[in-house]
Structure 1
């Protein structure tokens, strides 16, 4: 594009276009963004052309070859995340000057924790809404590494991740201990076998996690024959239920299939491990009454659960 004058501070019109652009990038194209944005593909296309004209940059390639960001488009996307996060931080801080809770709480959560029996996250969110009915809650189900990055750069106010490592810029609040066991499905050769040796396990195909694990957890997979992998626990469950694979699942997540006799834990006393989960927040973050209220409710629930043990 031709030489363009430096851009001034974005106004409401530019912010609207930037929000549309962010959603298009996160959806991977115009068509997928239609449903999320609630506007037509033609309107999205016009908005993208308008934003490119205002910025003087070509942001993306679109056409028969599909949707793809240009180098400049990728830079603008990252800048848009910082801009919108800073605006939300400003709004949350100003709203914190009032006596009531108002603003957003953006949380990143690791997949398949909703069936944890303690339900600390769910109950804390409910209590937060009691204290601030106008609080808007946004949950993103994403991998732990993305949650950590989101909390560190301010896109997320809090996250829930497995406590595999600690990063210096984050504060950790212990939440859960999750037990996982080795399962097979009804119809698998090991379903009726008892007892089962490690050598027998190695004779059968296994699905292993493609996400980070602690050395202790990795050791539990050493006896397995890894012929498949999955990026989340739902993917592991899919393959186990195919009756062709064995694999580890959290007990609370597998319970529905165990109760219906579709799955069985193999040598549960021997083949199991524990994963600890923590709520994370950024150290020395800006004042945020919504986040503080949520953490207060979490701490209250955790303390009550500990006393009840």
Structure 2
């Protein structure tokens, strides 16, 4: 084989992604290519290297001995390229790149997740990195990631698609709250009042959450307000007219001031898994890689991460 060209790197990327996904069909969504197009790329690769790299067809997908060795060599090549790029970046006086991330609102009071500390460490390396943080609702986070507007996001893992790498970070407990002036504030009478068919309670619904999160077993809740941020929900709850869900860490300030009260937490609380997510096909800029590295202490020991074979696809 002659000198490696950009065309060869593209063929290597397609081949590696197909192998990581376990076949042509499984790699379609990641590569955003048709089966015939992927097959053509593999055929062109075999012409370039001069031997058959895989078996594909009705019998299923499998690597030939030559294909196995080629896959190992391609992996080493891409790792070398990635290491070279990282070293080149680090030797510059300035990193000089933009870091874009999206987060859900209210994250600042989540002490399990040390985003502020990680950003501080990043600033110690280079204080000229342009950081853009967008505080968005989960549905907007999902679309921003899909459109490539952000490098990675921090939010509920339920919004992730198959094309996203997930690193679970923490679990956030959500509880139903009311204000200290609300009719349900007296914990001794909460149960009687909440199941009293004659009473109706205005419920704050967050527009981006499925209505199934509203306790279905409590018939006298009525959606009386729709919000798209944690702060708006808290303001309505504090008004004394509405009840609604808030993360325990976010509501703690008002709990400590005796301005908010939990409503039957043993029954109404639920846990939401949160994580760091980035597109499998997105080549993360060095500042994003560094920030992810600094966030490792916040990442749960067991990660719900998919194989990251497609991360090199942007070469």
Q: TM-score range by the shorter chain?
A: 0.5 to 0.7
Deviates more, 1:218-227 or 1:291-300: 218-227
Give the structure 1 partner of residue 250 of structure 2: 253
Of 180, 183, 207, the match for 2:177: 183
Q: Which runs of 5+ in 2 are unaligned?
A: 1-83, 304-315
Whole-angstrom CA distance in 1 between matches of 2:273 and 2:196:
29
In the other structure, the counterpart of 1:108 is 102
Change (3 A) 1:162 1:114: same
Q: Residue 131 in 1 paired to residue 122 in 2?
A: no
Matched, 1:206 2:200: no
Count of paired positions: 213
TM-score for both structures, normalised by structure 2: 0.61
Query: 1:164 maps to what in 2?
Result: 158
| Bigger relative contact order (CA 8 A; separation at least 6) | 2
* Pairs within 5 Å for 1:1-150: 97-100=88-91, 101-150=95-144
Residues 113 and 298, structure 2, Cα contact 8 Å, conserved in 1: no
TM-score by length of 1: 0.62
In the TM superposition, residue 221 of structure 1 has moved relative to its aligned partner by: 7.8
C-alpha distance in 2 between matches for 1:221 and 1:257 = 27
Per the alignment, residue 34 of structure 1 pairs with none
* Backbone CA RMSD of aligned residues: 2.8
Give the distance between the partners of 1:221 and 1:120, measured in 2 at CA.
Answer: 36
Instruction: State the shift of 1:94 in Å.
Output: 8.0
Q: How far apart, in 1, do the equivalents of 2:86 and 2:296 lie?
A: 23
Matched residues in 2 for 1:284 and 1:250: separation? Answer: 32
Question: For residues 146 and 228 of structure 2, what CA distance do their matches in structure 1 show?
Answer: 23
Q: Give CA-to-partner distance per residue, 1:116-171, whole Å, 9 cap, x none.
A: 01232222211222233322211111222222222233221111121224312211
Structure index of larger Rg: 2
Q: 1:305 to 1:133 in 2, by over 3 A?
A: farther
Relative distance call for 1:287 and 1:247 in structure 2 (3 A) is closer
Looking at structure 2, the residues matched to 214 and 284 of structure 1 have their Cα atoms a distance apart, in angstroms, of 32
